Amino acid sequence: MSLRLSDFDYDLPDNLIAQKPASKRGESRLLVVERRDGSIRHARFCDIPDFLRSGDVVVFNDTKVVSARLNGRRGSGGRVEVLLLKDLGNENYRALIKPLGRLKVGEEIFFSRGFSCRLVDAKEKIIAFNPPGAQAAMKEVGVLPLPPYVKREPTALDKKRYQTVFADKEGAIAAPTAGLHFTKQLISRIKKTGAQVCFLTLHVNYATFSPVRCDDVSEHVMEEESVEIPESTVEALRRAKGEGARVFCVGTTVCKALEDNACSILEKKRDGAVTNMSKLFIYPPFNFKIVDCMITNFHLPRTTLLMLVSAFAGKDLIFKAYKEALENEYRFYSYGDGMLIL
C-alpha cells in the first residue's frame, strides 16, 4: 500500500511556530524518543552529552548560509523578490522569483547599488546577472533567506543565530537547523564523553524544502544537493560501524548525505573523501545502514523532512512524539526546539 501525502499531515497552532531563536543558544527543550520501546521523555538540549558513549561518532553539517535573497524592482517600479537557488555558471542562476507571472523574458530586475539581472527562462526560472555579478550582489545587498514561516525581516541577531557556530563552507540557502542549537562549549562537552566529532558538507538548497506535490509520495523526485564527506569523517564512520559504536547524525541533511553514500563509506578498500550530487529521497520504509541516532528539529507537515524522520523512527512513533510536543507547547521549525531519536 502506497503512502499518501495526507498521511504526513498534522495541525499546528501558529503560536507554536518559533519566530526567533531561544534567548541563549543551546537552551532549547529536547524531546527524547526511544525507538526500542517507544518511550518519550523531556530534557534540555544541553543534556545531549548525557546520551553519548565513548566511541560514538557525532556528525555535523558545516555548510554556511549565504545571503541569497535579493529585493529588487522592475523597471515599472513593482517589487520583485529573488531567491538564488543554484549557480548554473556564466552568471546564470536558477531562482525563486516573486511575483514571476508578470515578468517577461528579457525583462530586467534592478537591485540597489547598481546591481541587476534579467529573466532568461520563465519556465525554468533562470536569470542572468549583469556585471559585476551575483556574488558581488549577494555580498553587497543580499539578505539572509529566513524561512517564509518566520514572519519578519532578518535582523543583526539572525546573521549570527541563523548560522551554526561551526559554519565553514559557503553555499547553503537554508541553515542545517538541528545544528543551530550547538555551542562551542556543548561540542567540547561532547568530546569529553569520548565521542568523536566529525563534519561533512551538504549545501542545503531547494531540494530540502521544496513541496511534495504528488499524492503518492513515492512519485516525488528530489533535486540535487552537493555533498562532500572528508576522508577523516569516512574513517571515523568506518571505525564506528566496525566496532559497534553508534553514529549520531545532527540533522536530516547529515542523515541524507550519509545514507546516500553508505556503500562508499563502508567499502574498506576505498580511500579518500566521498563526494556526490545527492538526490536521495528517504521515506518509509527505508533500510538505514549508517545512522543509529538522530538529532533533529520538528518539521513542517507534508514535507520530505517529516517523511525522513518517519522512516527512521516509524511514522506512528513520530506522530506520537509530535502529539506530545504539541501538548507541551514545544517550539516548532527552524528556530524551535529539538528532538533526539535513539
On whether both 12 and 44 belong to a single domain, the answer is: yes
| Pairing state between β 225-229 and 196-202 | antiparallel
Which pLDDT belongs to residue 1? 61
On whether both 215 and 315 belong to a single domain, the answer is: yes
288/256 Cα distance (integer angstroms): 10
Residue that is last in its domain, among 110, 141, 172: 141
On whether both 114 and 212 belong to a single domain, the answer is: no
Residue that is last in its domain, among 94, 111, 141: 141
Q: In this structure, are residues 299 and 176 in contact, taking their beta carbons and an 8 Å threshold?
A: no
Residue 189 in domain: yes
Q: In this structure, are residues 303 and 209 in contact, taking their beta carbons and an 8 Å threshold?
A: yes
Q: In this structure, are residues 79 and 69 in contact, taking their beta carbons and an 8 Å threshold?
A: no
Mean pLDDT by 10 residues, the chain (342 residues): 91 97 95 98 98 98 97 93 94 94 92 96 95 96 94 94 97 96 98 98 87 94 93 97 97 97 88 92 97 98 97 98 98 98 98
On whether both 327 and 262 belong to a single domain, the answer is: yes
On whether both 129 and 162 belong to a single domain, the answer is: no
Residue whose cell numbers read 545587498: 141
Q: Is 9 helix (H, G, I), strand (E, B) or coil?
A: coil
Ramachandran angles phi, psi of 81, nearest 5°: -110, 130
17/57 Cα distance (integer angstroms): 31
Q: Residue 232: which of 257, 197, 204, 258 has the closest Cα?
A: 197
Sheet holding 225-229, edge to edge: 40-44, 29-33, 338-341, 293-297, 247-250, 57-61, 196-202, 225-229, 274-278
- The CA-CA-CA angle for residues 100, 18, 40, to 5°, reads 125
Which pLDDT belongs to residue 268? 79
Q: In this structure, are residues 92 and 231 in contact, taking their beta carbons and an 8 Å threshold?
A: no
Q: Residue 52: which of 293, 338, 261, 333 has the closest Cα?
A: 293
Cα distances (Å, whole numbers) of residue 70 to 85, 159, 264, 297:
12, 15, 38, 27
On whether both 132 and 263 belong to a single domain, the answer is: no
Q: Return the amino acid letter for 56.
A: D
Q: How far does CA 15 lie from the centroid of its chain?
A: 22
Residue whose cell numbers read 523512527: 313
Residue 337 in domain: yes
Helix, strand, coil share (%) of the chain residues, nearest 5 = 30, 25, 45
Q: What is the pLDDT of residues 283-298, one digit of tens each?
A: 999 999 999 999 999 9
Helix axes 304-313, 252-260, angle to 10 degrees: 70
83/203 Cα distance (integer angstroms): 15
Q: In this structure, are residues 146 and 172 in contact, taking their beta carbons and an 8 Å threshold?
A: no
* 178: containing domain: 5-65+157-341
On whether both 35 and 100 belong to a single domain, the answer is: no
On whether both 56 and 176 belong to a single domain, the answer is: yes
Residue 116, strand partner residues: 110
Which DSSP category does 224 fall into?
Answer: P
Which pLDDT belongs to residue 207? 76
Across 12-51, b (16+ Cβ under 10 Å) vs e yields beeebbbeebbeebbebbbbbbeeeeeebeeeebbebbeb
On whether both 38 and 165 belong to a single domain, the answer is: yes
Q: Return the amino acid letter for 314.
A: G
User: Assign residue 49 a region: left if phi > 0, alpha if psi is -120 to 50, beta otherwise?
Assistant: alpha
H or E element at residue 264 = helix 262-266
Residue that is last in its domain, among 108, 141, 174: 141
CATH of the domain at 132: 2.40.10.240
Q: Return the amino acid letter for 217.
A: V
Q: How far does CA 281 lie from the centroid of its chain?
A: 14
Residue 152 in domain: no
On whether both 133 and 231 belong to a single domain, the answer is: no
On whether both 303 and 187 belong to a single domain, the answer is: yes
Stated pTM of the model: 0.94
Residue 271 in domain: yes
Please count the structural domains in the chain: 2
